[in-house]
A = this chain, B = another copy of it.
Amino acid sequence: MAGFLDGNSYGKSRIRVVKVTRGAERHDLNELTVNIQFEGDFDAVHIAGDNRNVLPTDTMRNTVYALAKDWSGEQIEDFGCQLVEHFLGRNPQIARVRVAIQQSHWLRMGSQAFTKGSEEQRLTQITGVGGGVQIESGIENLVALKTTGSSFEGYKKDRYTTLKETSDRILATAIRANWRYSSSDVEFGRCWREAREAILKTFTERDSPSVQHTAYAMGNAVLKAVPEIAGIRLSLPNKHCLLVDLAPFGLDNPNEIFVPTDEPHGLIEVAMRRAG
């Protein structure tokens, strides 16, 4: 053999499941997408074609369906922990399980009817090893835009710089945030809502001299608002809205008409941990 195995994992991605909790007065709806990944004693699978240690990914999917039945339908973190415990407890060949869950956003329209909300997703990732679990939760695709209160000035320039400094621009982004809880015994729903609120409040209320400064302020705000959070990573694309030059048409454009663009886009990433 020319090579050594230097790491491996396997699992099932994009396991979609809808759980309806049928209460007397109303039904609750959960739409989840689950990803499961195992690491462990799988050298023989790779090297010798010996599948004895391989629990099929098809079984992972079935397990999601079956355990969804017993899940309370409340916090996705609980469901993720139940899956991790199930797999670790019954599979000594597994050293590490990661279960990632995305929860879609539905709006209630009646006691048994819903409309789809935004493409924002609530996230969790549970990583389990023999000794315990680590829980990272977060949010993805939280698209926000402010029409003023954002500037970009005083930056470095070189021979390829053509960007004009601006004291007033549109700031548009699709926030992704992933935070690490210091314990697995927290009120996940409340913490999630408070973290989301801290992020949006910072976006809305603070002037932004750069996306970096805004991302950092968001991280600080979350750490301040939610003591249960030990650290946070934020990823903010800068979804540029370009001011249209209307001068050729004899019109001025005092920050009224913009072209939103998808590419290229800026990408700002910040990681923070709790002080002291």
Using a CB–CB distance below 8 Å, which chain A residues touch chain B?
A: 1-22, 27, 29, 31, 35, 37, 42, 45-47, 49-59, 61-63, 65-66, 68-69, 90-91, 93, 106-107, 109-110, 112-120, 142-149, 152-163, 170, 200, 203-205, 209-213, 215-216, 219-221, 223-224, 231-232, 237-238, 241, 244, 246, 248-251, 253-275
Contacts and interface: CB of A to CB of B under 8 A. Distances in A.
Main secondary structure, interface of A, reads: mixed
B119 A8 contact: no
Given A3-B274, A170-B18, A249-B66, A11 B148 contact: no
Contacts of A112: 146-149
Count of chain copies = 4
Contacts of A65: 244, 246, 257, 259
Given A3-B220, A219-B3, A8 B270 contact: yes
Nearest to A226: B2
A238 B203 CA distance: 38
A213 B215 CA distance: 43
Nearest to A13: B267
Contact of A55 (B9, B53, B156, B268): B156
B144 A18 contact: no
Greatest chain B CB density within 10 A among A52, A110, A149, A274 is at A110
A55 B17 contact: no
Greatest chain B CB density within 10 A among A27, A55, A264 is at A264
A108 to B, nearest CB: 10
Q: Which 5 A-B pairs have the closest CB atoms?
A: A116-B143, A14-B263, A46-B216, A2-B223, A49-B209
A15 B264 contact: yes
A31 B64 CA distance: 30
